[in-house]
Amino acid sequence: MAEPQVDLASLSLFRATREQTEESRRRSFPQWGGPLSLTDYLARDATMESGEHAKDGKWITWVLAPRNNPTTLDFMSACETYKRTGLVAYPSTSPSEPNSVHEATCYGVACVFTPPSKRGRGYASRMMSLLHWVNVKHANLPKFPEAWGAPPEEVEDADAGLFSVLYSDIGEEFYRSAGPGGKGVDGRQRGSISTIWEVGTEEDDDDEGWKWLTEEQLNGLWERDAVRIKKELANIPTSDSSYKVESPMAFATYLPTDGVCGFHITKSTFASNFSMAGGFWGVESTRDPGTYASWSVDLRPPPPTLIVTRLCASEEMFPRLISKIKQAARRSGIGKVEVWNLRVGLKDVAEKTGGRTFIRNEHVPQIVWYGPGTTGNVEWAYNEK
């Protein structure tokens, strides 16, 4: 049953209490619980709170609640943010000099949910507008609208974000309309492109020159990968027709470290009977240090799909790498392999190896930039899972 409208100015954004956090998860369970029981769904998120991606205040649940009753369990809407470490590269003004690469704080936004009885009243939109004000330096935002009342209070472990992203399942317009100043935000969709391979039955038994990686071994891979990404950004071409805008004023990316890639494994396999054959969640070439991949798995809807979370390879090595990834999937009873946003040089090779590329209409990546210039002039690099 629909509830009466509450004046939006009487609401603000608050860091959720422990009780509100659990209530937000109970609310979202019917939508996102999948095959899990409510008990397992709550236990999964409680377990993930101790993960590297969440520790030290990096994972925060937010609620839109009355200013005069901020701890109520009858809050209007909720969402989550993940504080991450990223890199931003500003193009060099001299062809003989590398790009200027800087570490940056950035955010992932997730689990935006309003219960059906409270929908259609602008609560989620107001919550998303206020979220800018807790994750970004106010100097990088427009004037706070007086009609909204007072801005949200500053929250420890938040603030100073240079960009944020989310993966939308309801299209891009809703989030673009939720700007920090009462108008639309300069958020842009980026690279909702997937490539899928059917695994088939052909086996590749030749493991010579390859090393399979367990979940524990992936941390070392991602650390080396982060170093590689920084070096590549320093030398990335400042202009290319494959970019969203041909000559970006900045390149932005998350880093795969600190649990950013790793948490997908726990989230997707918790309380299931699934396990990767050999316990392997990655593979790397022992002959070419620039060829490697890591992955997770999507168990729903069935049948399961192997989702690549990070991939690095040259055009020459890519077919062999995909062959090894398909091998891992086949041995684990998985019928498909999916990669997001292959770079241009690999898309043609992917087609020759049986890959089918298409534009997704779910998990659509969107980015908002808070630094100098506009989001439209920023290239989201390494936009993978």
* pLDDT tens sequence across 104-138: 999 999 999 999 999 999 999 999 999 999 999 99
Which tokens sit at 365?
């990546």
Q: pLDDT of 16-58, one tens digit each?
A: 999 999 999 999 999 999 889 999 999 999 999 999 999 999 9
Residue range 76-96: mean pLDDT, rounded: 96
Residue 166: CB atoms within 10 A of its CB come to: 23
Q: pLDDT of 54-75, one tens digit each?
A: 999 999 999 999 999 999 999 9
Which tokens sit at 355?
């890959």
Tell me the sheet residues that pair with 61: 80
Q: Which pTM was predicted? A: 0.93
Question: Is 364 or 109 the better-scoring residue by pLDDT?
Answer: 109
DSSP string, 297-338: EE-SSSSPEEEEEEEE--TTTHHHHHHHHHHHHHHTT--EEE
Given the structure tokens 């990546």, which residue do they identify?
365
